Amino acid sequence: GPYYWTFQISHSNKTTLSFVNAWIWLIGNWTITLSVNFGFASMLAATISIYHPTWSASNWQLLLIFYAVCLTSLVICIFANDHLPLVDTLCASWTLLTILIILIALSVTADAGRHSPSYTLSHYDKSFAGWGNFTFFIGLLPAAYTFSGIGMITSMAEECADPEVKVPRAIALSVPVGGMAGLFFIIPICATLPPLQDIITAPAGQALPYILARVMGSPAGGLGLISLVLVITVFCSISITVAASRATWAVARDDAVPLARLWARIDERWGVPIWALGLLTGIQMLLGLINLGS
């Protein structure tokens, strides 16, 4: 009687919520991967522009660099799947080394001058952005990366030994470890920033390569530091592509996307969801076309 219908309605609501949540999660995984890979392409173009000031990437050139990044990540994720744990270990070690090198190099050189602790930790200037009081939205992007990274850990649960222990541990540790690493990275940059009005005109709209070159006092010095960051971004591109492909596969396996059986296939030779990887890469490449008209 009423208990049966109450159960049916409750079950239907849970199914609807699960479907909506799955699609929000899936679109978030796709777009955050797009953001990382397109950001990597932009940073690479900006680095080249600093070292070769006469060259500036056009929209279609930047699009081709972005396509190269997407395809490179795709190939690595397919053919080097067995080596991905080693990639993660190398990424962690390289990140720690990069943070220490940048911290020391910027703190010692500071060619663009030094700022007071109050400026470093609390200065907020919205006069150059053109968005008035809405400029705080820009500062939400690092937080979005942080929380998406925490969530994407769950995508790898089925490929992790002892997931009931290691996945919660990874989620919990990512907060303090990432927070401390972020502080050691950003505080030296904020303490040695060149003038903000110069930063907003940086090549390709990428601040970091310009800041490092100015603070180090030469394009070569900036190139040395930004190269370390670019290697980290390569690792990040690979890791986030893997996680997003697993999210795509998981939603397809639950028959929640069109052509679900296709995207849920696992290649027997390589042991990876090649079709889900292909879908993820194709969606990124299509969305990258926006840059041609924007």
CA 120 – CA 291 distance, rounded (Å):
34
Report the pLDDT value the prediction gives residue 261, as an integer from 0 to 100.
92
Report the pLDDT value the prediction gives residue 7, as an integer from 0 to 100.
44
Q: Which residues of the chain have pLDDT under 50?
A: 3-9
Tokens of 83: 């080596």
**pTM higher than 0.95, yes or no?**
no
Reported as a single tens digit per residue, the pLDDT across 141-191 is 777 777 777 777 888 888 888 889 999 998 888 888 888 898 999 999 999
Report the pLDDT value the prediction gives residue 200, as an integer from 0 to 100.
86
User: Tokens 């797009």 belong to which residue?
Assistant: 34
Report whether 157 contacts 163 (CB < 8 A): yes
CA 6 – CA 93 distance, rounded (Å):
54
